Amino acid sequence: MPTATGSVPGPHSEHHTVLYALSTCIWCRRTRQFLERQGVAFDYIYVDLLQGKEREDALAQVRRWNPSISFPTLVADDSRCVVGAKLEEIKEVLEL
Amino acid sequence: MSEDMAIPPEKVDALYERLDREAEASGYHLNPDREFTRELAEGLLINEGRYGYWACPCRLATGDKQRDLDIICPCDYRDADLLDWESCYCALYVSEGLLRGEREVQPIPEQRPPEGQRAQDLPARAPDRPGREHALPVWRCRVCGYLCARERPPAVCPICKARRERFEHFW
């Protein structure tokens, strides 16, 4: 099982990147693998593995960007968001 | 929830085979990418261990079955998504075109309405039919639309295998 939250290091750290994901979701897994392959430094949060206040706080963050609260939700620099495993769009936002 | 049990590969295979058999028997198709589909089957088994039911692996379940009813696999949105987008939300089920490999599986938008507007949140539709006192009630499967006239809905939908709690009093 993955840990609920963590950071993945990588040479591409120009953007502060947070991946909100579900540990059981295959599209989240694909997105994470894509970021790793591309060498992006990012933080990840598996919302399904959080409980109580931690989960509420994470959901509040996701809701700000994606009111339908679906996963994966990727937030870059606290200013841009990509909903879903849209790898081309993520490339563009993260300038890969 | 970090106490998820590891799922043995043979359990995943058994579920995969069962889902494939049931899908093909009723006109549905599993995603032909076997590895992809096995991972989804594993997600279903993890969620069964966590929540006691097959919450969609690609959606956040609350653990309250009544609130999660619409996202128990097969979800309420599968059939519409198959028509509109050629796969269901997680892509466990795909259209014939995708099955034949004519197009690639893509992520699709979420059609699930916000909480408060889902089938289980709305008051049960009041059946209104003249002379209904003489007729059997008609039950509708919210997953696939199967209708049956009988005193109570079946334990399992004979078409899509959704369970009794997914039936609504239609008429």
Q: What is the mean pLDDT of residues B129-140?
A: 73
Q: Which fold has domain B9-119?
A: Ferredoxin Thioredoxin Reductase (3.90.460)
Q: Which fold has domain B123-169?
A: Rubrerythrin, domain 2 (2.20.28)
**Phi and psi based region of residue A73 (left: phi greater than 0; alpha: psi -120 to 50; beta: remaining):** beta
* pLDDT band at residue B171 using 50, 70 and 90 as cut-offs: confident
- Chain B environment of A68 (Cβ under 8 Å): 110, 112, 114
Does the ipTM exceed 0.85? yes
Torsion, Cα A28 B14 A3 A16, to 10 degrees, reads -10
Where are the domains positioned within chain A?
5-93
Q: What is the mean pLDDT of residues B144-168?
A: 92
Tokens representing A20 are 């909100």
Half-sphere exposure of B87 (CA within 13 A, CB side): 23
Where are the domains positioned within chain B?
9-119, 123-169
Q: Greatest CA span in chain B, whole angstroms?
A: 55
User: Which of B4, B58, B112 has the CB atom closest to A26's CB atom?
Assistant: B58
Place of tokens 């009988």: B150
Give B40-75 as a DSSP string. Answer: HHHHHHHHHHHHSS-B-TTS---S-HHHHGGGBSSP
CATH code assigned to A5-93: 3.40.30.10
- Chain A environment of B40 (Cβ under 8 Å): 26
Q: How far is B134 from B43, CA to CA, in rounded Å?
A: 46
Q: Are A56 and A18 in contact (CB under 8 A)?
A: no
Q: Is A4 within 8 Å of chain B by CB?
A: yes
Predicted pLDDT at B131: 56
Which among B8, B22, B110 is positioned nearest to B30, based on CA atoms? B22
* pLDDT band at residue A20 using 50, 70 and 90 as cut-offs: very high
User: Which of A3, A27, A49 has the CB atom closest to B58's CB atom?
Assistant: A27
Predicted pLDDT at A2: 78
Q: Are B143 and B164 in contact (CB under 8 A)?
A: no
Are B9-119 and B123-169 the same fold in CATH?
A: no
Test B58 with A68 for CB contact under 8 angstroms. no
Residue B110 vs residues A47, B135, B169: alpha-carbon distances, Å: 17, 38, 26
pLDDT in tens, B101-132: 888 899 999 999 988 889 888 887 656 665 55
Q: What is the mean pLDDT of residues B128-144?
A: 78
Contacts for A52 with CB less than 8 Å, ≥ 6 apart: none
Which among B124, B169, B114, B166 is positioned nearest to B142, based on CA atoms? B166
pLDDT in tens, B65-96: 999 999 999 999 999 999 999 999 999 999 99
pLDDT higher than threshold 60 for residue B50: yes
Q: Is B126 within 8 Å of chain A by CB?
A: no
Nearest CA-CA distance, residue A50 and chain B, Å: 7
Q: What is the mean pLDDT of residues A9-34?
A: 97
